[in-house]
Amino acid sequence: MSKGVLYVVATPIGNIEDISQRALETLKQVDFIAAEDTRHTRPLLKHYGINTPLRAFHQYNEHAKLEMMLQILDAGQSIALVSDAGTPLISDPGFPLVRELIQRGGRVVPVPGASALICALSASGLPTDRFMFLGFPPRQTGQRLAWLQTFADEVSTLVFYESSHRVADSVAAMCEVFGSGREGVIARELTKLHETILRGSLESLSERLRQDRDQQKGEFVILIRGATGDAGERIEVDIEQMLITLMAELPLKQAVSLASRVSGIKKNILYKQALKISGG
Ligand code: SAM
């Protein structure tokens, strides 16, 4: 075991057996374990008969503890950083420590294992060749809608974390922003007793959550298929938006004429669309 090394060790996201032999050996051999919450980590260590000293490295004292941890590493002791579940630094504390240690020329060794986002992605049935992990959406409704909007045209599969308190609202917001027909997956309680993976259109998923409150319990990864880049769909959406904007400023005929000049689409087609928009 190298001294003065920070080991970033992944722990299970539910099923206690989802931890590597190397992770267990590392946890046994380091000088101490820095845990996000010692109450979460203690049962895991007990289960595997690991008696390494445990210290709290909580989100709220992360900066205060950072200097102390760096001094310990400088002095040649080794530390294993763990979070409550999954891989540290992935929507979990640890980034300032890892960054600072690297800047000081220290050694950071990853000990890989579970992470909810990869676990969910691997069973989602959505494209995995390109994905974008976005963590937790903003909690406030308006901010969440505006934030989601920035990813509406993203072609990669989108991956979000969400809590039980907000999963129904978030999926409803995603349905509003990405469109009711966009394909999505809700991966709940992965590797645990109530593991459920729901697949379907965002509208059907939102409806399912609203109708079945049990589906709102636990921990969630939400995945959304990236924008398909389907030209037909895109033109329809863009033109409609253009018409709405022009119609808010100009008489209908003029709005249609301008939209036709910009888009090259025939006036009579746009006129019908404009009448639909205005409810005519
Ligand atoms: N570091 C962790 C990882 O690597 O996955 C994530 C930590 S983040 C604070 C916790 C969030 O991860 C939960 O709110 C949920 O969105 C997701 N998550 C964690 N465990 C999960 C599980 N078993 N099933 C589904 N989602 C899970």
Mean pLDDT of the chain: 92
The CATH homologous superfamily of the domain defined by 5-114: Tetrapyrrole methylase, N-terminal domain (3.40.1010.10)
DSSP H or E segment with residue 243:
helix 231-249
Q: Which of 161, 197, 223 to mutate for ligand 1's pocket (most ligand atoms within 8 Å of CB)?
A: 161
Question: Residue 60: what pLDDT?
Answer: 66
Contact 65, 57 (CB under 8 A): yes
Question: Residue 231: what pLDDT?
Answer: 42
Mean pLDDT within 247-268: 87
Question: Residue 240: what pLDDT?
Answer: 84
Tell the residue number behind the tokens 């709940």, with chain if given: 188
pLDDT in tens, 105-149: 999 999 999 999 999 999 999 999 999 999 999 999 999 999 999
pLDDT in tens, 199-256: 999 999 999 999 999 999 999 999 999 998 654 444 455 788 888 889 999 999 999 9
Question: Residue 73: what pLDDT?
Answer: 93
Sign of CA dihedral 31, 35, 41, 44: negative
Q: Which of 18, 91, 198, 216 to mutate for ligand 1's pocket (most ligand atoms within 8 Å of CB)?
A: 91
Atom of ligand 1 nearest to the CA of 189: 24
Q: Which of 8, 11, 13 to mutate for ligand 1's pocket (most ligand atoms within 8 Å of CB)?
A: 13
**Class of domain 117-224 (CATH, top level):** alpha beta
Question: Residue 230: what pLDDT?
Answer: 55
Reported confidence tier of residue 261, pLDDT bands at 50, 70, 90: confident
Tell me which of 100-104, 206-210, 268-272 is least confident.
268-272
pLDDT in tens, 53-96: 999 987 667 677 888 899 999 999 999 999 999 999 999 999 99
Atom of ligand 1 nearest to the CA of 162: 16
Which residues does ligand 1 sit against, CB inside 6 Å?
13-14, 83, 85-87, 90-92, 115-117, 161-163, 187, 189-192, 219-221
Distance (Å, whole) CA 275 – CA 6 = 65
**Which is more confident, 30 or 278?**
30
Question: Residue 238: what pLDDT?
Answer: 74
Greatest Cα pair distance in the chain: 78
Q: pTM, whole model, 2 decimals?
A: 0.82
Question: Residue 185: what pLDDT?
Answer: 98
Q: 115: closest CA among 139, 138, 95, 135?
A: 135
Say how many Å lie between the CA of residue 18 and the centre of ligand 1.
Answer: 14
Mean pLDDT within 253-261: 88
DSSP code at position 137: P
